[in-house]
Amino acid sequence: MSVLTKKSGVMKFSLRFLISAVLCCVLGGCGRTSRIAREDSDSFRKHTFWSDKKTVFSSTVSVLQDMRYVVRTTDYASGLITAETLTAESRKKAGGRMFVSAFVEEFPNEGTAVHLDFIADKGSGRSVKEVFIFNRGLYEEVFNKIEQKVRGRQQIQLYQLQQNRD
């Protein structure tokens, strides 16, 4: 048996094995699991409020400031808000600096959606690594606080409207 025949036999076996592995993943659902996990994480990172964009946007900024985040950028037109923690207490709690980006988007007749992403810096020096935070409780806490702010602002708006009528 020649060396060429042995190599081509090994290559055929490797190619068959690779094709089989790919087919198993595709047909067996390997890709499906990660898609489901990603969709599940997206479901608790987004919340819709029954209010206008201006109210939800300003409520989101206010909540982040109340939580001791330093708001770095706000762009009402695009709906983008970015903030980060600077206090030693919040850094210790997160194991490093925490960043948050919020995207506020209004949908006619469907409310205003807020999509949050929390990111933490883990490590120190040159080995700093940014990690997405998928703590459902953190997102629920922030959305509950935004909901309270939105309701408070709506009550104030309603009161002012009633005062203007009188």
pLDDT by residue (tens digit) across 30-63?
A: 443 334 344 455 689 999 999 999 999 999 999 9
In a shared domain, residues 83 and 14: no
- Band (90; pLDDT cuts 50, 70, 90): low
Token look-up 């990660």 returns 34
AA letter at 106? E
In a shared domain, residues 56 and 106: yes
State how many domains the chain has: 2
What is the Cα–Cα distance from 111 to 158, expressed in whole angstroms? 18
State which residues form the domain around 15. Answer: 3-40
AA letter at 3? V
In a shared domain, residues 29 and 60: no
In a shared domain, residues 64 and 137: yes
In a shared domain, residues 22 and 63: no
